[in-house]
Every structure is written in structure tokens, then in C-alpha cells.
Amino acid sequence: MTQPRPRHLFLAASAFAVLMTAACGGTTIDSAEEENDSRPTGTADPGAEIPEGLRIDFLPKQLNNPFFDIVNEGGTEAVEEVSGNATERGGTEATADSQVEYINAASQAGSDVIVIAANDPDAVCPALNEARDNGAAIVGYDSDANCTDVFVNQSTTELVGRTLVEMVSEQLGGEGTFAVLSATPNATNQNAWIAAMEEVLQEEEYADLELVDTVYGNDDDLQSFQEMQGLMQSHPDLGGVVSPTTVGLAAAARYVSDSEYKGEVAVTGLGTPNQMREFVNDGTVEEFALWNPLDLGYLAGYTGAALKAGQITGAEGETFTAGRLGEYTFETDREIVLGPPQVFDADNIDDFDF
Ligand code: RAM
């Protein structure tokens, strides 16, 4: 198990104007909307001061994931700006069990805010509810749980699903088969995106595209690589793969780039430009998408501080200022949205460094 470790100040500045645009209409996980009754019931006080010294704990899905390394740099940046103390806690595997342990540790250490990317929408809730009873505000980021106070969504779920379908459709010329290589089977975010893709696939434009299989690499590089290999064995005529996880996409691209399928099987999904650059340059990957992970963490850090301070409760229509990202509004109850995803290809990938 990895011990909690303090995070370093983030030093680089990245230009990513497109993702700093105002949040667009949000999509809430239905079950979360129905079951979540945990949002603070008081009235927001937009002028409330953020107290100094807030203890804000970031619990990513796992620690050894380059995506979350960047997300939590952004989180730390925000926490430093509000004169708080940021701690990142987690294990090396993306499991809810490990998260429960770290939620309890954060709570026992007197956490003011727990910011969590849940590995399971329900399994983490008893521990989170206990942490709330102990005084912590609970923020979901990246992957929500059914008991968070508010959720910082990277983009609307519908838009992520649509972008994934559009990318694979473009690469397959609108017809053929594809499979999904996902993260963990219980991941709230990937499951919501896959459901959104299935919805979009119902549209007439995509009538000749068929999703034939979904497999899970558990956000583990080797398992994802093996699942990709397994997919090609079970479906030798597969047209493409969509991996809505940075770990899965990098592993799928590595497998395909070294195989007879390179240039034959479309590989797309969600990835970081720095991990995917070599596969775009060698022709394995035409295009893929993501949001700015740094900004996601930064927005989540500010959201946690604003929630704990009472500037917001998460009710629809509430507004607050998230540092350098400016003003954000809860377009839907208890959810704010960072912005639309960015599509990367050979023409623009070198403009991004994360
Ligand atoms: C992986 C994780 C994360 C997801 C990104 C796109 O790093 O599964 O939850 O948002 O991919």
C-alpha cells in the first residue's frame, strides 16, 4: 500500500483555452440523482471566506496513473491558492476496497474535504457517509459515487459518449464493428460513457456501426494489453476499438502498433497527448480525445473549498469563482461541468504537453 504523500506545487502553466470555456448543460447520473440526499441543505453564502488551513484530501482511482498525476497537480495548485493543505491518498490498484481504507484514514486525520474518483458508485458510500458525519465535505471528481455532496464532471456524459462514437465512426467510414476496452467493470464514469455511446448508436447515422463486445482491463496496463490481444483473437475481423480510459487506450495502441493490425484496426478513445504521441506519429492512432486533467483537478479543489466554506451547497443555479478558471455555475443540481472534450490528431497533438 502506498502511504499518503504530500503533493508538490505545480509549476508549469498550460494553455488550453477551449476547456476553460463556460460549462455546458450537464448530465447527471440518474441513480445518483435519485439516491443522493446528502447535499448540504443550508443556504449558500457566496461571500463566505474560505478559511485558511483546510485539509483537502484527493483520492484518485489509483496512484500509478499518469492521468491522475496531472489531475492532482491541478488539485494541489488550487489548494495552495486557498492556503490549505492537500494530501493525495490511494493504492496502486483501482479498487473500492482500497479507497475505503483511505477514506477512513483521511477522516481519522480530520479531513475537511474529501475529493474522490470513485471506483464503485456504492461501495465507498458507508465510509464517505461516516467521513461526512465527522465533518468532511464530499466532492466527486472524474467518477462519481451515489453519496457525494457535489460532482465535478469533466464534460457532460452525453458529449463524451457522442465524441467517442463520432471518432470511431469517422475512422471506420460509418460502418463496421468495434469493441470497447474499458477500465474497471464498476467504474461510474466509464459505465456512464458506454451507456451514452449506446444511446448515440441508436441514431440513424450510426445504423451500420455495431458494438460487438466490451471488455475490462481494470486500468492496469498489462491487463489492458492482454484484453486487447484477446479481443483480436475473439474478433479477427474487428474494425476498431474504443477505449474510454487513458490506461486502456495507451495499452491498446501499444498492442496494435506492434501487430499485423496496425493501420487496419481503428484505435481511439480517451488518452493523454503525451502518452499517445508516439502512436499518432507511427500511424496507429488517427485521433482521440480528452479534457485538460490539470483543470479538472484545479476545479475540484476549488469546488471542495467553496463547499466547505459555504459559498455553495451544490444547488442548481449557484455560482462561484474557481481561481484562474473564473466563474462556474451549477447548470444542474449538484453537478458542475469543466467543459467540452478536445480531440487530438497529428495536426494539433504537439500543441499539448500533458
Ligand atoms: C483513466 C481513468 C479515469 C478516466 C480517464 C479518461 O485514467 O479511468 O477515470 O477519466 O482514464
- Residues 232 and 332 both lie in one domain: no
Q: Is 143 in the pocket of ligand 1 (CB under 6 A)?
A: yes
- Residues 63 and 84 both lie in one domain: yes
Is residue 48 over pLDDT 70? Answer: yes
Is residue 10 over pLDDT 90? Answer: no
Q: Give the pLDDT band of residue 42 (cuts 50, 70, 90).
A: confident
For residue 183, give the ligand 1 atom closest to its CA. Answer: 8
* Helix (H), strand (E) at residue 80: helix 66-81
Is residue 128 over pLDDT 70? Answer: yes
Instruction: Give the dihedral of Cα atoms 14, 17, 22, 27; nearest 10 deg.
Output: -70
- Residues 257 and 172 both lie in one domain: yes
Domain-embedded: residue 199: yes
- Residues 125 and 210 both lie in one domain: no
Q: Give the pLDDT band of residue 63 (cuts 50, 70, 90).
A: very high
What CA–CA distances, in Å, run from 68 to 51, 178, 320? Answer: 26, 27, 24
13-27 tens-digit pLDDT: 333 333 333 333 333
Report how far ligand 1's centroid is from the alpha carbon of 158 (Å).
16
Is pLDDT larger for residue 56 or for residue 19?
56
Which range, of 38-52, 71-85, 141-155, 339-353, averages the lowest pLDDT? 38-52
Domain-embedded: residue 136: yes
Say what percent of the chain tops pLDDT 70.
88
CA–CA separation, 14 and 21 (whole Å) = 15
Report how far ligand 1's centroid is from the alpha carbon of 329 (Å).
24
For residue 61, give the ligand 1 atom closest to its CA. Answer: 9
- Residues 138 and 195 both lie in one domain: no
- Residues 203 and 250 both lie in one domain: yes
Q: Domain range spanning residue 239?
A: 157-290
Atom 4 of ligand 1 has which residue's CA nearest to it?
Answer: 245
Atom 2 of ligand 1 has which residue's CA nearest to it?
Answer: 245
Cell of residue 118, nine digits: 470513485
- Residues 182 and 139 both lie in one domain: no
Q: Which of 58, 68, 142 to mutate to test the pocket of ligand 1 (most atoms within 8 A of CB)?
A: 142
Domain-embedded: residue 207: yes
Domain-embedded: residue 352: no
Q: Which of 59, 247, 272 to mutate to test the pocket of ligand 1 (most atoms within 8 A of CB)?
A: 247
Q: Is 189 in the pocket of ligand 1 (CB under 6 A)?
A: yes
Q: Is 65 in the pocket of ligand 1 (CB under 6 A)?
A: yes
| Mean pLDDT within 314-342 | 97
| Mean pLDDT within 102-118 | 98
- Residues 103 and 213 both lie in one domain: no
Q: Is 270 in the pocket of ligand 1 (CB under 6 A)?
A: yes
200-235 tens-digit pLDDT: 999 999 999 999 999 999 999 999 999 999 999 999
Report how far ligand 1's centroid is from the alpha carbon of 190 (Å).
8
Q: What residues form DSSP beta bridges with 113? A: 56, 137
> Residue 64: its pLDDT value, please?
87
| Mean pLDDT within 169-189 | 98
Q: Is 157 in the pocket of ligand 1 (CB under 6 A)?
A: no
Is pLDDT larger for residue 23 or for residue 125?
125
- Residues 46 and 74 both lie in one domain: yes
- Residues 222 and 176 both lie in one domain: yes
Say what percent of the chain tops pLDDT 90.
88
Q: Is 251 in the pocket of ligand 1 (CB under 6 A)?
A: no
Q: Which residues make Cβ contacts (< 8 Å) with residue 251, sequence separation at least 6?
A: 181, 217, 221, 222, 224, 225, 228, 243
Report how far ligand 1's centroid is from the alpha carbon of 248 (Å).
9
| Mean pLDDT within 271-280 | 98
- Residues 22 and 60 both lie in one domain: yes
Q: Which of 65, 71, 141, 197 to mutate to test the pocket of ligand 1 (most atoms within 8 A of CB)?
A: 65
> Residue 40: its pLDDT value, please?
61
Q: Give the pLDDT band of residue 316 (cuts 50, 70, 90).
A: very high
Q: Which residues make Cβ contacts (< 8 Å) with residue 277, sequence separation at least 6?
A: 349, 350
- Residues 141 and 227 both lie in one domain: no
| Mean pLDDT within 237-260 | 98
Is residue 240 over pLDDT 90? Answer: yes
98-109 tens-digit pLDDT: 999 999 999 999
Atom 9 of ligand 1 has which residue's CA nearest to it?
Answer: 142
Is residue 1 over pLDDT 60? Answer: no
Is pLDDT larger for residue 132 or for residue 18?
132
Find the CATH number of the domain harbouring 241: 3.40.50.2300
Domain-embedded: residue 143: yes
Domain-embedded: residue 345: no
Domain-embedded: residue 350: no
Domain-embedded: residue 8: no
What CA–CA distances, in Å, run from 239 to 48, 128, 170? Answer: 54, 42, 12
How many domains are contained in the chain?
A: 2
pTM summary value: 0.89
Q: Is 183 in the pocket of ligand 1 (CB under 6 A)?
A: yes
> Residue 5: its pLDDT value, please?
34
Mean pLDDT of the chain: 91
